[in-house]
A and B are shown apart, each in its own frame.
With several copies, the nearest count.
Chain A
Amino acid sequence: MTTTIRKILIANRGEIAVRIARACRDAGITSAAVYSDPDRMASHVRVADEAYGLGGTTSAETYLRQDKIIETAHKCGAEAIHPGYGFLAENHEFAALCRDNGLIFIGPPPEVIALLGDKIQARRMAEKAGLPVVPGSIQNVDQIDTARSEAYGIGYPVLIKAAAGGGGKGMRIVNDPEGLGAALSTAASEAGSAFGDRRVYIEKYIPRPRHIEVQILGDAHGNVIHLGERECSIQRRHQKVIEESPSVIVDDAMRAEMGEAAVALAKEAGYIGAGTVEFLVDENKKFYFLEVNTRLQVEHPVTEMVTGLDLVQEQFRIARGKKLSVRQKDIDRRGHAIECRIYAEDASAGFIPCTGHLSAYQEPSGPGVRVDSGFLDGDDVPVYYDPLIAKLIVWGSDRTQAIQRMRRALNEYVIQGIETTIPFGRLVMGSESFQSGRLSTHFIEDEFSDLAESLSQTDGDILMAAMTAALVDYRLQLRLLAVSRRARSEENPWKISGRQAGLRTRWTR
C-alpha cells in the first residue's frame, strides 16, 4: 500500500532545505519552504515552489516551533514534512505530532527515534544485535561507587558520556581513579543543563579513534541495506568538517562486516528510513558501535557520489511506503568522494563563527564537482543559525584524483566579505598526513599544533595581496587625478589622499 505525496513542507533552512527542494523538483513533488524573518531572502525560500513565513527571528521562534510548522503544513496542503537535519529532525515528539495530525514525517517512526536517541538504550540494543561496543557500563553511573567499580573493570583511561549527549557536552576523559569523582559530577551537571537529563555512563577511552559511519536505508517492508561507509574523522569541536568515502582503511571485508553490523542493528530496532550507524575505529582497525543518527546526515552527498543513489529520493520512496529502489547486491560503489564543509568560520581563530555580507560569491564547477549551497551572491550570513554556508563535494576515479579536484575547486571558490573554512580545507588537502590517510578525530590538534601559524604559512600570497592594494590605490589616485584635471581643479589629488589617510579612524581586527 503506497501513498502519493504531492507536496512536502521542508521544516528547515540553508543548504539542506535547498537540497530537499531540489529532490522534490526531481521527483515532481511541490516543495513548500518555511522561513524566519531574517531568512526572507534566503536561498531555500527562492528555490522552493512555495514559501511561508513563520514570523520571528530565532530558531526557537521559528524552525523549532512545532505548532507553527504543523499549522503551515495544513494551510498549504502538504501531505508530508521533511525535517532535514538539526532542528526537529531527531525530535520523536514532533514525529509523533505529525502522525497525530495526519502528516507523514519523513524519517523513522517516533518510537524508533526515541529508542535510538537514548544512548544507553541504543547501546543496549547494539549489544543485543551483536555489535561490538566500547567496553563500559550501559547503565547510569551517577553513584560514585558504581562508577568506581565500573571504571576499575574497564581499566583507565575512561570516558564519561551523557546518555542524552552530543557535540562533546557532558563528556570527560578520566585518566586515573583520583579524577573520577570530580569528572562525574561536572559531566552530570553539564549534561543536566545541556539536555535536561543528568544521566551519564562510562566507556573505555579510545585514544586516537577514527570516526567511520555506515549509511543505512530501511523500508516499511522489512528491507534494510547499507551503502558502505564514510570516514568523518576530521572534526573540530567534536563536529565533522571534512568527510570522505570510502575510508582509506576500510577494505571490502571490513566494509561488509561493518555494513552487516549496521543492518543487524537497524533490523533489531525496526528501522524505517535513511539513517547512519556511527562507529569508532581504533588503531588496530577494530570498530565499536558509537551511536545511530536517525536522519539524513550533512555528509550524505559523499555516499551519493560514490553509489549514484539519491538518498533524499530514497527517503521519499520509503515515506510513500514503497520498497527501496535497490537491493544490497545492486549497490555499485565507484571511485572516491570527499566533502569539505564551507563554514562561515575563521579557522585561524579557533573556528570562530563570522557573520556578514557575501560581497562576492562564486561557486566552482566542472568535472567531478558538486556544490550544495544555502547561499547566493549578495546574501547575508545571519547570526542566528548554524554557520554552514555550503558543502563542496568532489568525486574522482580514485582518492588522488578526488583530492586534486577538491584542491582545484577550493581554489576556484570565491567567497568575499567573510572568513570561511576554505583556507582550512586547502591546508588539509595539501597536507602529507591527509594525503597518506593518517586520520583520527584528533587530526587537527595532532597535525597543526598552531593552526593559525600553519594557515598563514600556506599564505605565500601576502606579497601579491600587498602589491594589489598598492596598485588599486595607485589606480584610484590616477583616476582622481584625471577627474581633477578634467575639472581643472587646483587641488592635488595626492594631497586629498594624504588627508584621507590622516582621517583614518579605528582599525578592527
Chain B
Amino acid sequence: MKKVQVSTADRSFAFELWFENGRYFVRGEGGEHVVDLIPLRNNRYSLIIDGRSYETGVEVASDGYVVFTGARSHRFIVEDYEIAQMKRQAGIDDWAREMLLTAPMPGLVLAVNCRPGDRVEKNQPLLVMEAMKMENDIKSPLTGIIRTVAVAPGQNVDKNQTLIEFEPWRNPEKPVPE
C-alpha cells in the first residue's frame, strides 16, 4: 500500500494504491477501483478499471508524467503523499517554481505585449510568434504576475526555450493579489 499525490498546476488528487492477485487497487476520488493495467507498445497502456476499458499513453518526462488520453494530454507530478504534505507545510511548491512559458515551436518573436511586474489573466495574449508561416498569439497559461520576459521582438527562439517567467504564486483558495 502506498499513498501518493498526483498534481497538475491547478489540481491535485490523492490516491492509495496496492497490488494483489495480479490486479491493482486504487482508492481515491470516486471510491475504490480494481484496475487491470497492461503495457502495450509505444508507452501505451490498456487499463480495465472496474470493467471499463481505457487506453492511454504515459510518457515519463524528466519531471513527471505526460498522460495522453483520447482527448488531451495532461502533465502530472506524482509524489509520495507524506513528502508532498511536508513540502506543502514547508511552502515548497514544485508547480509554482516551474511557472514558465516556453516556446511551443521554433520561430520568430514578432511582438511582446507584456512587461515584468504586469498582472496577466489566463489566456491573455503575451507575445506574437511567427511559425509555420502564421502569426500566432502566445497566451498566458495562468493568471499571475510576470517576473521576467526572456525574449525580445526580432529574436529567433527554439522549441521549449523560455519566453516568460512568472512570479511564484499558487494558492487555489486565494486569488492572485491585485
Residues of A within 8 A of B (CB): 32-33, 40-41, 45-53, 59, 76, 237, 346, 349-350, 352-356, 359-360, 377-378, 383-387, 411, 413-414, 416-417, 419, 422-423, 426, 450, 452, 455-456, 458-459, 461-478, 494, 497-498, 501, 504-509
Contacts and interface: CB of A to CB of B under 8 A. Distances in A.
A509 B141 contact: yes
Contacts of A459: 69, 71-72
A354 to B, nearest CB: 6
B49 A505 contact: no
A472 B45 contact: yes
Interface stretch (B13-21, B145-153, B169-177): B13-21
A459 B71 CA distance: 7
B24 A474 contact: yes
A419 B107 CA distance: 18
B48 interface: yes
Interface in B30-46: 30, 33, 35-38, 40-46
Nearest to B33: A467
Contacts of B162: 506
Contacts, number: 228
7 contacts: A41-B40, A76-B51, A360-B43, A383-B107, A383-B131, A459-B69, A467-B49
Contacts of A350: 136-137, 139
A481 to B, nearest CB: 11
B100 A509 contact: yes
Interface of B: 2, 4, 6, 8, 11, 13, 15, 17, 19, 24, 26, 28-30, 33, 35-38, 40-49, 51-60, 62-65, 67-80, 83, 94-95, 98-102, 104-107, 123, 131-134, 136-139, 141, 159-160, 162
Contacts of A462: 8, 11, 74
Contacts of B159: 355-356, 383
B44 A50 contact: no
Contact of A383 (B24, B56, B106, B141): B106
B134 A237 contact: yes
Given A50-B51, A506-B98, A507-B75, A471 B44 contact: no
A387 B132 contact: yes
Given A45-B53, A352-B136, A467 B46 contact: no
B26 A467 contact: yes
Contacts of A360: 41-44, 57, 68
Given A459-B71, A470-B6, A498 B83 contact: yes
Given A359-B57, A360-B44, A378-B41, A353 B80 contact: no
Contact of B77 (A76, A452, A504): A504
A458 B101 CA distance: 25
A357 to B, nearest CB: 10
Contact of B65 (A352, A354, A473): A473
Nearest to B142: A509
Contacts of B80: 494, 497-498, 501
